[in-house]
Structure 1
């Protein structure tokens, strides 16, 4: 089962940085941005996370929670968050349960070798828990501004 635009996103609970867990249904009433990135502490993922960090106040104003997610373990996520001073939580999805829910595990090629990995993707969930927007095969430059504009428009109604 995978997420569909305009439909409620199935509830999930996941381990996050800050020694906490997040349950999607507990965030009802707020908009949620979930962005999937391939690997903590790599250049593109660091840039993308920094863009979200630098615009967090604007997302807060638009009643939007930011969650970053990858298959990295919790320690790697904690280190990444601390080093980059991210002001939002990161989810460790080692078992790929959330990745599979959003269908972001894809066959990728690196140096001529094929492997399964996370395709950089972002999802915007409305305050009622429905999938409002999705961005797949994301290119980092300018992406966070586009997500912010969508979150602001959705919040404004």
Structure 2
């Protein structure tokens, strides 16, 4: 099942960093960027998170919340957030509920071995909870800037 652009994103509640939970419906009225990354504290994921971190004030100005998601446990997510000084929540999606909702678990290959893992993907949800834009098979370079521009454009209407 894949979400369609313009469709309301189904609600979910998931454990987040800083001993919190995130419930998507509680963010209505704000735009939401949800970005999925394969593994905390790996080079590409660190760069991507840093790019979002460094643009947070601009996302805030566009009424947009940033949320990072991976299948790492909450302790790994908290350590990653603390070490990189991320200024947004990271979700622990060990049971893959949110990953499956956005259809980001894909067959991947590493060193000739196949496995199921998160395909780096980002989703922009509008202030009414509808999927506005998606990026799949993301390349980290310039990605956060592209997402920021889309969020700013959506915010300005």
Map 1:1-157 to 2 at 5 A: 1-157=1-157
Q: Is the 8 A contact 1:3 1:10 kept in 2?
A: no
Instruction: Give, in whole Å, the separation in 2 of the partners of 1:2 and 1:136.
Output: 12
Matched residue SS, 1:114 = strand
Stretches of structure 1 that go unaligned for 5 or more consecutive residues are none
Runs of 4+ in 1 over 6 A off after TM superposition: none
Question: For the residues of structure 1 that align with 2:132 and 2:57, how far apart are their CA atoms?
Answer: 21
Tell me how far 1:52 sits from its aligned partner. Answer: 0.3
Give TM-score scaled by structure 2 length. 0.99
What RMSD, in angstroms, separates the aligned Cα atoms of the two structures?
Answer: 0.5
TM-score by length of 1: 0.99
Q: Give secondary structure in 2 for the equivalent of 1:100.
A: helix
Q: SS of the residue aligned with 1:18?
A: coil
The Cα shift of 1:126 comes to 0.1
- 1:3 positional shift: 1.6
Aligned length: 157
Question: Please, which runs of 5 or more residues in structure 2 have no aligned partner?
Answer: none
Q: Separation in 2 of the partners of 1:27 and 1:97?
A: 18
